[in-house]
Structure 1
């Protein structure tokens, strides 16, 4: 059994919960996911089944889309509604124009400090494990990219709220983004709700609830890398690639999908004058 599932994750479930449930439903141990969603978050979670798990890193490299409700004036320990409130500020004077103006500084390549409750590793250990022990370690800022940042709605008042729409590259934390916007406005902010609307080419309209998971719901492995450039090889080239031998360069910048006579064969890239496979999708 090989293919992809696009799940609409419900709130209250961890990404691992979804993987475990799909393993039981499908009777397949080889199940993984591309990009963790916080338990309180909902939306698109892409799962790889069988050999498709080898393609998940390429899905994870794709841009993501989110819709977040920002709660201005409320700062929490986890930067979302799950954490302890550590500061509160009145936002009665905050306007929609203030928010729009502050948001402009957070589009493009920006510096971002990852939250303590995250999978980022410091000293070889995920930050969330340190956070569970009550530790708060210094985190170096990281360069991330926000492609688009829009304001869908704004509700003024002592506890102003806004609906933000984000399209960002891998590694961007929306919780940190919202908190940084709140800091720029000198009132603080946290994420009240978060929904992932897109992972690469997969949108929330493609997603199904876990109750609808069946073998028939699997998508072909090729859909995982549909956005990558494509290269075709003959049977001899396919055999060489399967056995770990390099091919002549494809003349393609970056990573590309290699198709043999029987379909998707491998992911590869040109390096040092030859094409080398990054993963091969043969039996096993």
Structure 2
């Protein structure tokens, strides 16, 4: 099932006018897919920035055109397949800031065309390397298979990580199963399946919808008096020197913006000609 299909089903079941998600999952993958409804769809761009967790099956000894086991096998290693200790030994080389070349079978656009569309036609093009960050990377054996526990920045391709690990080991590798275990503060153990959602009553489904503000609970809050609230809602900058603020804010920092009736927006702190100010970037009203 594609992420688009999952969003469409949730939209129908909740009777929402709009729906969106926080980052595409491969059709063969499963796991966490936060879905935003109605005005919360504007939060999609913010959630996409969050770090993500994955649990992936590392299949050693093969290389495929898609970098996972759904693709066509290009090479098969005939030597002795490395064990878990050899895998663990090289993992530190992939932790921290590293560079990845996105796979051809990806949704990235080059000159207006999706890479996977080109790949299906047998066309390969040069892809720009991407800077990513792997915060955590562990390997373990479960039922005689090797699995990777990964916590990484946005834009990380776990298929490519598996492929690069195989190249480093000299035997090749591809990704088997993939489960997304987290997106920001959204965890797998708190998620529900589409099947569970379909079986629920309308009232129980409504109880699952969380307030938009909770998406930004980790951000500092700025309370605006009515006059400045109107300015912010109209897209004007609100200069911090004109506000009585207890906390300190840094240029580039995201903040929650509250008005007389509570939360209504998020914005960034930025430097303008007349000083440091906040400007609403997404209104949730």
Residue-pair matches, total: 266
Task: Name the counterpart of 2:13.
Answer: 25
**Alpha carbons of 1:91 and 1:46: their partners in 2 closer, same or farther (altered >3 Å)?**
farther
Q: Distance in 2 between matches of 1:278 and 1:106?
A: 35
Q: Look up the match of 2:280.
A: 277
Aligned equivalents of 1:124 and 1:227: distance in 2?
A: 36
1:20-99 maps to which residues of 2 (within 5 A)?
A: 20-90=8-78, 92-99=80-87
Superposition pairs of residues 132-147 of structure 1, within 5 angstroms: 132-147=120-135
CA contact (8 A) 1:153 1:164 kept: no
In the alignment, the residues of structure 2 paired with residue 91 and residue 124 of structure 1 have an alpha-carbon distance, to the nearest angstrom, of 42
Q: Is the 8 A contact 2:255 2:269 kept in 1?
A: no
Which position in structure 1 is the counterpart of 2:139? 151
Question: 146, 154, 161: which is aligned to 1:170?
Answer: 154
- CA change 1:174–1:124 in 2 (3 A) is same
Q: What secondary structure does 2:34 align onto?
A: strand
1:206 to 162, 177, 190: 190
Q: State the TM-score, normalizing by the size of structure 2.
A: 0.88
Q: Secondary structure at the match of 1:111?
A: strand
Aligned equivalents of 1:146, 1:32: Cα separation in 2 = 26
Higher RCO, Cα 8 Å, sep 6+:
1
More deviation, 251-260/72-81 = 251-260
Is this contact kept in 2: 1:148–1:168, CA < 8 A?
A: yes
Are the counterparts in 2 of residues 72 and 91 from structure 1 also a CA contact under 8 Å?
A: no
User: What is the aligned-residue RMSD (CA, Å)?
Assistant: 1.7
Change (3 A) 1:198 1:132: same
Q: Which has the higher helix share?
A: 2
- Find out whether 1:244 has 2:235 as its counterpart: yes
Structure 1 residue 212, shift from structure 2 partner: 3.3
Deviation, structure 1 residue 22:
1.5
1-structure distance, mates of 2:82, 2:120? 34
- Runs of 5+ in structure 2 lacking a partner? 198-204
Contact 2:84 2:140 in 1 (8 A): no
Q: How much has 1:154 moved relative to structure 2?
A: 6.7
Instruction: Verify: 1:222 aligned to 2:213, yes or no.
Output: yes
The offset of 1:91, in angstroms, is: 5.6
Structure 1 residue ranges (4+ consecutive) displaced by more than 6 angstroms after TM superposition: none
User: Structure 1: how far apart are the matches of 2:113 and 2:59?
Assistant: 30
Change (3 A) 1:91 1:259: farther
Alpha-carbon shift at residue 140 of structure 1 (Å):
1.8
Query: Equivalent residue of 1:205, what SS?
Result: helix
Aligned residue among 174, 178, 183 for 1:194: 178
